[in-house]
């Protein structure tokens, strides 16, 4: 059953990657200016961070604790209502802080990336849609309903983005109109997964007084806070490079860099599909104490991910010069960005689902020690390397952080 789901989500992810290549490699670079590409990509990155903070760890709480609440006859003990209210309250609180403290954001980006300042307010609906998609995606994954959310996100979203770029290409909208359509396109997946949850009879938003929720609530909130800090640290470690390039260089350089990040992400498709399926399964293994099955899953995931990832890395690297022929000449500056990021990702893939296992275990707090320290390390290395090597320096910093993230726990015995 898990293998079947994993295969389906992988097929969907590869189909989405094909559409993504059309958008990121052929359409966007040839329709949009590099700084406009940088804006579009960076808005999504910032929305992800925004949503991660605002969610208060609700997605991870769902993956870890929903197996204890899963009882359709009892409306899952009011779990969906409680977790939705919890994350919505978090979004309101964080949004107030974002509005109140927007001045430092303006000051950091107004000279190097003025477009990002101009479209600042579009980040709020993007973040809200991202939060709800992630929450309902986790809920549906816990119900082993992986296929539809994957279909909407991997294929539907990319088709919506294709439409937004084509509208600009044919002169049907100006750039501001494109940004509006682009934001709406990124909001549609959240609406579709909520509608799907209603159709399958799992939109259980009725408030219920639950002794189970009262008993586990304290542990859930504690777990959510630590998983939030951990996920936020990892997300910052993965995206701080693009954010710093926009502030230290410009949005044009960010556009080239983030395009190479996407090219690198193609080799991660089997790995990410595995993680989507593995989370709820590992949580069940912890609940039933089936450590032998968890060990077998870990070894199989590591082997498959490394072999497939290495093959895709070599395939893309060998054909990199041919790929650049379909893009404006300035994008060739990203060749070694792919090399450094790709090597870092290979190490990450070889580690398999170790992060998932640790995050769903009783020792989930240990991971925060490494990720928070590595965020500081990533910021410092970017500050040192970007002035010297430009976008290649940011890629070297990210590669180094990924390698340390996966080897430090082994070396230290954690």
pLDDT tens profile 125-157 = 999 999 999 999 998 988 888 788 888 988 999
The pLDDT, as a whole number, for residue 223 is: 80
DSSP state of 361: S
pLDDT score for 363? 61
Average pLDDT over residues 225-243: 82
User: Whole-angstrom Cα distance, residue 182 to residue 123?
Assistant: 12
Counting every residue written for the chain, the total comes to: 414
Label residue 163 by pLDDT band (50, 70, 90).
Answer: very high
H-helix or E-strand spanning residue 234 = helix 211-248
Question: Mean per-residue pLDDT for 114-130?
Answer: 95
SS3 375: helix
Q: Crossing angle, helix 269-288 and helix 123-142, to 10 degrees?
A: 50
The CA distance from 342 to 336, in Å, is 9
Query: Given a cut of 50, is residue 3 above it in pLDDT?
Result: no
Q: Pick the more confident residue, 229 or 158.
A: 158
Look at residue 249 in the predicted model and tell me its pLDDT: 94
CA–CA separation, 178 and 331 (whole Å): 22
3-state secondary structure at position 360? coil
Other CB atoms within a 10 A radius of the CB of residue 301 amount to 24
**pLDDT tens digit string along 332-372?**
999 999 999 999 888 877 776 666 666 666 665 666 677 77
Give the tens place of pLDDT for each residue, 204-221.
777 777 777 778 778 888
Region 304-325: mean pLDDT is 88
Which whole number is the average pLDDT over 405-410?
Answer: 64
Mean local confidence (pLDDT), 370-380: 83
Q: Band of the pLDDT at 87, cuts 50, 70, 90?
A: very high
pLDDT of residue 25: 85
Yes or no: say if 52 and 127 are a contact pair by the CB < 8 Å rule.
no
Question: What pLDDT sits at residue 245?
Answer: 96
pLDDT at 267: 80
pLDDT value at residue 127: 96
Q: What is the per-residue pLDDT across 28-59, written as a single tens digit (0 to 9) for each?
A: 999 999 999 999 999 999 999 999 999 988 88
Mean pLDDT (the chain) is 85
Predicted confidence band at 246 (pLDDT cuts at 50, 70, 90)?
very high
Helices (H), 70-200: 79-100, 103-109, 114-118, 123-142, 147-150, 157-169, 175-199
Query: Could you tell me which residue, 170 or 288, shows the higher pLDDT?
Result: 170
Widest Cα–Cα separation across the chain: 63
How far apart CA 311 and CA 342 sit, in angstroms, is 11
Task: Decide: 223 and 57 in contact? Cβ < 8 Å.
Answer: yes
Higher pLDDT, 309 or 91: 91
Q: Please give the Cα distance from 378 to 402 (Å, whole number).
A: 10
- Average the pLDDT over each of 182-196, 256-270, 299-313 and give the range with the smallest value: 299-313
pLDDT of residue 366: 63
Q: Find the mean pLDDT for residues 371-398.
A: 91
Cβ-based neighbour number of residue 291 at 10 Å: 11
Entry pTM: 0.83
413 pLDDT tier (thresholds 50, 70, 90): very low
Q: Where is pLDDT greater, at 232 or 73?
A: 232
Alpha carbon distance 190, 184 (integer Å): 11
- Most confident option among 9-18, 74-83, 224-233, 243-252: 243-252
Is a pLDDT exceeding 60 seen at residue 97? Answer: yes
Give 278's pLDDT tier (boundaries 50, 70, 90): low
The average pLDDT across 300-324 equals 85
CA dist 158 and 164 (Å) reads 10
Q: Which tens digits make up the pLDDT trace of 178-201? A: 999 999 999 999 999 999 999 998
DSSP secondary structure letters along 115-153: HHHHTGGGHHHHHHHHHHHHHHHHHHHHTT--HHHHIII
Confidence of residue 1 (pLDDT cuts 50, 70, 90): very low
Integer Cα distance of 346 and 192 in angstroms? 33
Model pLDDT, residue 157: 93
């Amino acid at each position: 059953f898990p293998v079947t789901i994993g295969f389906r989500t992988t097929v969907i992810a590869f189909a989405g990657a094909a559409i993504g290549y059309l958008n990121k490699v052929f359409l966007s670079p040839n329709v949009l200016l590099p700084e406009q590409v940088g804006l579009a990509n960076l808005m999504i990155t910032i929305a992800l961070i925004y949503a991660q903070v605002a969610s208060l760890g609700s997605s991870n709480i769902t993956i870890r604790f929903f197996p204890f609440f899963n009882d359709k006859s009892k409306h899952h003990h009011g779990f969906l209502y409680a977790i939705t209210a919890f994350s919505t309250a978090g979004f309101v609180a964080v949004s107030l802080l974002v509005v109140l403290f927007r001045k430092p954001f303006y000051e950091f980006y107004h000279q190097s990336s003025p477009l990002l300042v101009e479209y600042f307010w579009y980040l709020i609906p993007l973040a809200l849609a991202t939060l709800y998609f992630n929450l309902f995606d986790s809920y549906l994954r816990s119900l082993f309903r992986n296929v539809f959310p994957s279909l909407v996100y991997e294929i539907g979203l990319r088709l919506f983005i294709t439409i937004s770029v084509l509208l600009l290409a044919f002169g049907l909208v100006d750039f501001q109109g494109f940004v509006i359509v682009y934001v709406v396109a990124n909001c549609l997946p959240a609406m579709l997964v909520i509608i799907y949850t209603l159709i399958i009879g799992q939109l259980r938003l009725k408030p219920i007084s639950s002794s189970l929720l009262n008993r586990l609530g304290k542990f859930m909130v504690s777990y959510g806070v630590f998983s939030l800090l951990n996920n936020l640290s990892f997300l910052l470690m993965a995206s701080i490079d693009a954010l710093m390039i926009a502030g230290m260089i410009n949005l044009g350089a960010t556009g080239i860099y983030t395009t190479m990040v996407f090219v690198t992400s193609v080799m991660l498709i089997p790995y990410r599909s595995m993680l989507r399926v593995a989370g709820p399964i590992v949580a069940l293994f912890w609940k039933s104490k089936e450590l032998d099955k968890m060990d077998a899953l870990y070894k199989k995931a590591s082997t498959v991910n490394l072999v497939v990832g290495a093959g895709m890395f070599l395939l893309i690297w060998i054909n990199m010069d041919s790929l650049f022929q379909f893009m404006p000449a300035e994008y060739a500056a990203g060749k070694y960005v792919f090399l450094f990021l790709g090597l870092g990702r290979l190490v990450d893939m070889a580690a398999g689902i170790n992060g998932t296992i640790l995050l769903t275990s009783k020792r989930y707090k240990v991971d925060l020690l490494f990720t928070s320290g590595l965020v500081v390390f990533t910021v410092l290395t970017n500050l040192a390397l970007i002035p010297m090597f430009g976008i290649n320096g940011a890629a070297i910093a990210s590669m180094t952080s990924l390698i340390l993230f996966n080897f430090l726990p082994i070396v230290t015995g954690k």
